[in-house]
Amino acid sequence: HLYTTMLQMLGDEFTARAAEYEKTHQMTIAEALQFDERNVRKLEALEGFQLLNAYIQSPESLNELDEQLTADLTLAKEYWDNFQGIAEITNLMSALEANYIPVSHGGDPIRNPNAAPTGRNLIGFNPAKVPSKEAYDAGVTLMNQTIEGYYQKHGKYPEKLAFSLWSLETMRHQGALEAQVLHALGLKPKWNRQGNVVDTEVIPMSELKRPRIDVVISATGLYRDAFPNVMLWLAKAIDKVAKMKEDNNFVYRHANALRTELLEKGKSEEDADYLSSIRIFSNETGNYGTGLAASSLASDTWESDDKLADLYLDRMGYAFGYDEKRWSENVGDTFGDGEGLYNKVLSGTDGVIFSRSTNLYALMTNDDPFQYFGGIGLAVRHLDGETPEMYVSNLRKKDQLKTQTLDEFVNQEMRSRYFHPRWIKAMQDSGYAGATAILDRMNNMWGWEVMTPEAIRDDQWQEFFEVYVEDKYQMDMREFFEQANPESLAQILERMLEAVRKGYWQADDETLKKMVETYTEIAAEFDVATNNEKFNEYMDTTAAGFGLTPLSKALAEALANQQPVAAPQTAGQTQQVEGQKLEEQAQTEQVETDYMPLWWLFGIFMLGAGHQWFERKPKGLKVTAGEAQSQNFKQAA
């Protein structure tokens, strides 16, 4: 509902004031009517909803509004008008007529209310301004929260933090994550009068009051393409700190140890100096993606996640240091025996940080977060035997910046979206697309389970089963899937059963039996098949253990029971067909003989024309049959 979006735009302070006004002026809904049949609170029962609705529909009906509420509601009316003032078609027609289109920044309207109305000419921002001054302040706040949280849990400062940088995220938060990198290093940006970042400035230890924390930056391919200027000055800034000999400088300490090891491996002094301070890695220039999405789903091709970790390190291990001429350098075998520089630098990472600055996307909306952000956690666990702390910088509300752990963020996402009846109803209303979207969430949940098992709990797997298979909310989920896309339900069950098979989820016997039974029914009825032979074998074995029909037998019986195709009729067999009868009309022989002379004359004419062409064509010109055919195709096109 648009009102709920506007309530989030207006913020918690408005909600609190509005709730008090509604209570005082008897505008609240009776408690018995606030919840629906599934015990989910109705939208109209939300605090501030009734006041907002009254003001939008008939502002004159309200009285005794104080100055602050009046200002809030005036702003709310402005938001409302902007949402109603969509100009997409109008401005499209204006653009086709070469007229001026008003410009605007886009983005999430909750975080940036000026994103509405839509239909304007969207503009980005100058990469030279990353981070902006506001983004730097936000980054300092968030980094301090992260360091403090780590210290409280572990009793020491983190020595090394890794960051997953995305281009679209940076465009939204204007460099808040890059600012965290700087603050971890004990640096701050230097801006010129235009607000462009021109250099970095060292924060003295007396002011910093903590160690300088080493950093590792993993940039997506799009970030590499969109922000090469930021990557370059970050690389130079890291190199600067790596050469500052201080007692509490983890960057210097790690770089110095790495330099010694590089020299022992036979690297030159120049190479050792350069490679020891590289902390930025990405895909090879021109390449994109980690390959983890499809690989993690192909769960029959790997028994341990080491294979996936090696894939990630191989894909994302190209170096980007302060020497731009050596960018995208393949450092996958820097130390020999396949041990790359990225492996060495990433080892010892205490925490990984990713940002979310939009309310539209979360961490299970698509597979990119678990590939890039989760991929770092997977790689560190592969290298060190333990998953590092995983942090999400929540920038969705400018006035409520907070660092959250991965499991906390994911749990909130599941409860507020995928396990919420209103979200599920919206998916049902979308039919086939909705069924596919639910399957996507399951596959992304699986991706997080594989990358960072600590982030996904058994009770969350159980809840997914109860909501979508057991139909916990009595929303006719089985009927919905069978009508919209039965294969989505089959793949959801296959993924949950794979989680059990590979030991990620310790499901109870009753749940396991129900999943096996339901999958077998769906597969047999709708002719669903999988090429995962290990899964098929597991299904047969598990079904037999419960006394159920094995999957292979159920599929064979379903195939045998299909309506047989009628055999072709043999010679002599006829079937009387009723209806209009088509009969060949008699033709007189005179019709044929009248036109035959004309055909003979046309043929003689064409032979003569061909002879004349070949006699007159330029010497050396040869036309093959294929070329002639090609010419005909070109003319036809």
- Mean pLDDT value across residues 85-99: 94
Q: pLDDT grade, residue 618 (50/70/90)?
A: very low
What's residue 600's pLDDT? Answer: 57
- Mean pLDDT value across residues 589-606: 53
- Mean pLDDT value across residues 16-36: 91
What's residue 625's pLDDT? Answer: 35
Cβ neighbours of 301 (radius 10 Å) = 12
Q: Specify whether the CB–CB gap between 520 and 543 falls below 8 A.
A: yes
- Token pair of 465, please? 């089963």
Q: pLDDT grade, residue 608 (50/70/90)?
A: low
Q: Which of 169, 100, 143 is nearest to 396 (CA)?
A: 169
What's residue 277's pLDDT? Answer: 98
- Mean pLDDT value across residues 604-624: 49
Identify the three-state secondary structure at position 85. Answer: coil
Measured between alpha carbons, how far is 632 from 628 in angstroms, rounded to an integer? 6
Q: pLDDT grade, residue 571 (50/70/90)?
A: very low
pLDDT(611) > 60: no
Residues in CB range of 278: below 8 A, 6 or more apart: 235, 319, 320, 321, 331, 341, 345
- Mean pLDDT value across residues 215-230: 98
Q: Specify whether the CB–CB gap between 199 and 145 falls below 8 A.
A: no
Q: pLDDT grade, residue 215 (50/70/90)?
A: very high
- Please report which helix (H) or strand (E) contains residue 219, including its range: strand 214-219
Q: pLDDT grade, residue 479 (50/70/90)?
A: very high
- Please report which helix (H) or strand (E) contains residue 73, including its range: helix 67-84
pLDDT(490) > 90: yes
Tens of pLDDT, residues 318-341: 999 999 999 999 999 999 988 999
- Mean pLDDT value across residues 248-269: 98
Total number of residues shown for the chain = 637
DSSP state of 74: H
- Token pair of 88, please? 């997409």
Range scoring the smallest mean pLDDT among 128-142, 265-279, 339-353, 564-578? 564-578
What's residue 123's pLDDT? Answer: 81
Q: pLDDT grade, residue 627 (50/70/90)?
A: very low
pLDDT over 70 percentage in the chain = 88
Q: pLDDT grade, residue 355 (50/70/90)?
A: very high
- Mean pLDDT value across residues 206-234: 98
pLDDT(569) > 70: no
Measured between alpha carbons, how far is 467 from 477 in angstroms, rounded to an integer? 8
What rounded mean pLDDT belongs to the chain? 90
Write a three-state SS string for 423-481.
HHHHHHHCCHHHHHHHHHHHHHHHHHHHHCHHHCCHHHHHHHHHHHCCCCCCCCHHHHH
What's residue 563's pLDDT? Answer: 61
Q: pLDDT grade, residue 32 (50/70/90)?
A: confident
Write a three-state SS string for 251-276.
HHHHHHHHHHHHHHCCCCHHHHHHHH
Q: pLDDT grade, residue 390 (50/70/90)?
A: very high
- Mean pLDDT value across residues 601-614: 58
pLDDT(126) > 70: yes
Amino acid at 72: D
The residue among 467 and 115 whose pLDDT is bigger is: 467
pLDDT(622) > 50: no
The residue among 65 and 430 whose pLDDT is bigger is: 430
pLDDT over 90 percentage in the chain = 79
Tens of pLDDT, residues 531-553: 999 999 999 999 999 999 999 99
For residue 564, list its beta bridge partners: none
Tens of pLDDT, residues 41-64: 999 999 999 999 999 998 888 888
- Please report which helix (H) or strand (E) contains residue 319, including its range: strand 318-319
Cβ neighbours of 333 (radius 10 Å) = 11
pLDDT(589) > 60: no
Q: Specify whether the CB–CB gap between 169 and 355 falls below 8 A.
A: yes
Which residue is listed with tokens 């960072």? 452
Range scoring the smallest mean pLDDT among 217-231, 389-403, 488-502, 586-600? 586-600
- Mean pLDDT value across residues 567-586: 48
Q: pLDDT grade, residue 37 (50/70/90)?
A: confident
- Please report which helix (H) or strand (E) contains residue 18, including its range: helix 12-24
pLDDT(117) > 70: yes
Q: pLDDT grade, residue 579 (50/70/90)?
A: very low
Q: pLDDT grade, residue 619 (50/70/90)?
A: very low
Q: pLDDT grade, residue 398 (50/70/90)?
A: confident
Range scoring the smallest mean pLDDT among 336-340, 602-606, 608-612? 608-612
pLDDT(38) > 90: no
pTM: 0.83
Distances (CA, A) of 337 to 277, 340, 341, 380, 575: 22, 9, 12, 19, 76
pLDDT(465) > 60: yes
- Mean pLDDT value across residues 573-578: 49
